[in-house]
Amino acid sequence: MPKVLISDELSPAAVQIFKERGIEVVEKTGMKPKELAEMIGAFDGLALRSASKVTADVLAAAKNLKVVGRAGIGVDNIDVKAATARGICVMNTPFGNNITTAEHSVAMMMALARHIPEANSSTHAGKWEKSRFVGVELYAKTLGLVGCGNIGSIVADRAQGLKMKVIAYDPFLSPERAIDLGVEKVDLDTLLARADFISLHTPLTDQTRNLIDKAALAKCKAGVRIVNCARGGLVVEEDLKAALDSGHVAGAALDVFPTEPATQNILFGHPNVVCTPHLGASSTEAQLNVAIQVAEQMSDFLLHGAVTNALNMPSVTVEEAPKLRPYMKLADQLGAFAGQATETGILKVIVEYEGQVAALNTRPLTALMLQGLLKPQLSDSVNMVNAPLVAKERNIDLTEVKHDREGDYHTLIRLTVQSERWSRSIAGTLFADQRPRVVEIKGIKIDAELGPHMLYVTNDDKPGFIGKLGTLLGDNGINIATFALGRSAPGKDAIALVEIDGPIPGPLLKQVQDLAQVQQAKHLVF
């Protein structure tokens, strides 16, 4: 009989589901990582929320653990990489608390507009300070949404019910989807300049970390109010405090913080700041929804091998797994390459399978490519299970084509991405040793094996460029592992795909971008 440990407070409905399915359940909450590591060895499954910390040490002690189920969306408290290395499936419930989080954002916006927390404290203290708490209406104000996915779109709907004008910045929001939502798609600078209220609904990624800093705040209109119920780290708190102290920012409402639990913070006690202890997903309905979902998903996995909402495992049968495994690595690399190289909204994705791969179950491969394509912007909110749904919700047209014929290669996968301004493709194959290889980028033939760190450069094909690039990297202590080249025609467009031994510093990447003949240069991580 499988055994599941519940290490955080979950609805009793979850316990009931496990027991009805014949799974033994033990509940023990409030454990530190050391305590959890001492206890986890006897369990097949671990169900948790955000309090438990599933570190690499905990996973190392989990000799029998097969699945970790997160009741909620964020997996910041789980070392997914370590779990993957140990063959442990990590699941979440990405859609169970969307409405609750969106409603909390709207509630925070209203509290901020009408000084409700401060007025409440003042009135309880026996004061009657009507003139002190003069607020502003939401009616006819402009709400700027930074991120317009599942939660952001719900906030847009509620704000429109309050007769607010809604504008949105989201690189993955298509013009058609924006029209459907009734929002105006704008760039970030336009949003900052026009919004009376700014609400953040984007995951924390390398691209979004410290997104709202001193420079961004300076672009905002005077008197702007900022709401963050998404992730701590999106806002530079020191810069926000300075803007609040100067009066440029009229107020801020924060439900999330860079370090949690947050018992000390430079914004605590500020008269124009509303703070709550990460309550975005804390409603009776949301707690019940995510508890039921995680119990059902974990039970199906432990009893039947079914995989749902997994962040690190595909939906593949036992029979298909050996055949698909090398293709899955190739699909992951193609999607991740395209996702990191894409900076504008995506309209259409075309996936072509040619030769031997066309006869296989390609659905998990397509989903894996979509995950890699969308993940640079959506982080932990997208996985290979929900990636097709996320693409559909964003009006990204997906086409899958299978060609039984063999071309130049016995097996080939080509991923084509069409944006508002261009169409680009990348193709790869498997060599005899089953290692993935990239063989074409933007129609240019190339032969490259992708390493953990790659420098991708597109340039004009001119004499001396390769030497300049190599010298620049060498002079800055960047060791080159492999160097692959391709060009469309002599003197035309060329590509350099360089494997390097580690990350390339930002200033050095800027120097590469500034080289004569360079059209684009990016550091890609795999």
- CA 67, 72, 77, 82 dihedral sign is positive
Please give the Cα distance from 369 to 415 (Å, whole number): 8
Q: Check residue 355 and give left, alpha or beta (phi > 0: left; psi -120 to 50: alpha).
A: left
Among the listed residues 201, 278, 394, 453, the single catalytic one is 278
DSSP-assigned letters across all residues of 112-148: HHTTHHHHHHHHHTT---GGGG-----TTPEEEEE--
Could you give phi then psi for residue 43, rounded to 5 degrees? -110, 145
Backbone angles phi, psi at 122, to 5 degrees: -65, -45
**What is the rounded CA–CA span in Å between residue 254 and residue 508?**
36
9, 27, 118, 260: the active-site residue: 260
* Sign of the C-alpha dihedral computed for residues 223, 224, 228 and 233 taken in this order: negative
Residues 6 or more apart whose CB falls under 8 angstroms from that of 278 comprise: 50, 255, 256, 257, 260
**Beta-bridge partner residues of 457:** 496, 521
Q: Residue holding tokens 């990348």?
A: 426
For residues 114 and 135, is the Cβ–Cβ distance under 8 A?
yes
Tokens of 79: 């070392």
Structure tokens at 513: 């971008």
Q: Are strands 3-6 and 184-185 parallel, antiparallel or unpaired?
A: unpaired
Classify burial at 396, counting beta carbons within 10 Å of its beta carbon; exposed 0-12, middle 13-18, buried 19 or more: buried
Among residues 70, 104, 177, 231, the one annotated as catalytic is 231
Quick check: is 21 catalytic? no
Is 278 part of the annotated catalytic residue set?
Answer: yes
Q: Which of 415, 506, 515, 500 is nearest to 458 (CA)?
A: 515
Is 231 among the residues known to form the active site? yes
Q: Can you tell me the distance from the alpha carbon of 320 to that of 223, in angstroms, rounded to the nearest whole number?
A: 58
Structure tokens at 81: 């990489």
Residue 426 parent element (H or E): strand 423-430
Q: Indicate which residues carry an active-site annotation.
A: 231, 260, 278
